[in-house]
Amino acid sequence: MKIGFIGLGIMGKPMAKNLLAAGHEVVVYTHKQATIDELAAAGAEAGTSGADLASRCEAVITMLPNSPNVRDAVLGRNGVLEGAKEGLVLIDMSSIDPVESRKIAEECEKKGVSMLDAPVSGGEPMAIAGTLSIMAGGRKEDFDRFEDVLKAMGSSVVYVGPIGSGNVAKLANQMIVAVNIAACAEAFTFAAKMGTDPSLVFEAIKGGLAGSNVMNAKVPMMIEGNYKPGFRVALHTKDLTNALNASHAIHAPAPFTAQAMEIFQYLNAHDCGADDHDAMVKYYEELSGTTVRK
């Protein structure tokens, strides 16, 4: 298939390379010419704008930071809709507000363009390995048509429901991860202040009901004092902003997410936006006057 790809950052670049490796024709566009050139050297065709990609491809994938970037790339000047012919499918793989996904899809419909929202879970290493978890919303027939394209980038590809459902699943994931990291940070700061070795507490409880993938990934980092991302505080702040906006829009109170958001705001205010989200422990260490770090 001939696929357009817009947004070749940390995630988009390896994802586009995996499409090429799976034998798809890929036409790329992003703001940086050097990145377009790099992908062209790897076998992609160079595009000049979103409109250009839309006029040449059966589907256009976007992998951009947030809702305004997707709006701009799709609905803006020289954007996807300007070049789209009827029947084009837009596959937005960015993590954005599902309310915005629905609004952008409505605009696309007016030009006969169908949209899937298909955000991903898993960071750069999984994007490189092609083992992302992909959660998709939109028309089932569009999902079926492009499932193999998605499978070139992910090892788990799940259809969740109508447009917006992919981002609902993604935000649910981000809410659970944030609250879970905060709970780990709170509990391990408590243990440290009690004078109990956090490493031994981790060994003692990780196999029980409190254990989780989040605990296994993040608590050893807290104990090492390792805040190298992984997943940055600033990006998680963006996701919780979208989660709170969407939940407020439908009056679904999210008090724990709101608490986690305030911890991220503290970290942003203290120059920790580029840290891994395990830096939530820094907030608890400051509050309690102790350190979890060995």
Binding track over 128-167 against ligand NAD, x by CB under 6 A: ----------------------------------------
Cβ contacts of residue 293 below 8 Å, gap of 6+? 222, 223, 224, 225, 285
Of the pair 58, 72, the CB lying nearest ligand NAD is at 72
Q: In this structure, what token pair is assigned to residue 87?
A: 């029947």
Stretch that binds ligand NAD, among 8-16, 38-46, 219-227, 243-251 (CB under 6 A): 8-16
Residue 122, classified by CB atoms within 10 Å of its CB into exposed (0-12), middle (13-18) or buried (19+), is: middle
Secondary structure string (H, E, C) spanning 255-289: HHHHHHHHHHHHHHHCCCCCCEHHHHHHHHHHHHC
Residue 64 makes contact with ligand NAD by CB under 6 A? yes
One symbol per residue from 71 to 110: x for binding ligand NAD (CB under 6 A), - otherwise; what is it?
-xx--------------------xx---------------
Closest contact distance (angstroms) between CB of 282 and ligand NAD is: 20
Give the residue numbers marked as catalytic. Answer: 170
Among 51, 115, 118, 120, binds ligand NAD (CB under 6 A): 120
User: What is the closest distance, in whole angstroms, from the C-beta atom of residue 193 to ligand NAD in the complex?
Assistant: 32
**Interface pick for ligand NAD out of 63, 184, 221, 272 (rule CB under 6 A):** 63
**Identity of the residue, 50 or 198, whose beta carbon is nearer to ligand NAD in the bound complex:** 50
* Interacting residue with ligand NAD among 25, 38, 42, 69 (CB under 6 A): 69
- Least distance in angstroms from the C-beta of 179 to ligand NAD: 18
> Closest Cα partner for 94 from 68, 58, 131?
68
Angstrom CA distances, 245 to 22, 81, 166, 242, 270, stand at 37, 26, 16, 5, 24
Residues 201-240 that bind ligand NAD (CB under 6 A): 231, 235
Q: In whole angstroms, give the CA distance from residue 280 to residue 222.
A: 9
Amino acid identity at 70: V
Beta partners for residue 60, in sequence order: 4, 90
CA distance 180 to 122: 16
Contact footprint for ligand NAD (CB under 6 A): 6-12, 30-31, 63-65, 69, 72-73, 94-95, 120, 123-124, 231, 235
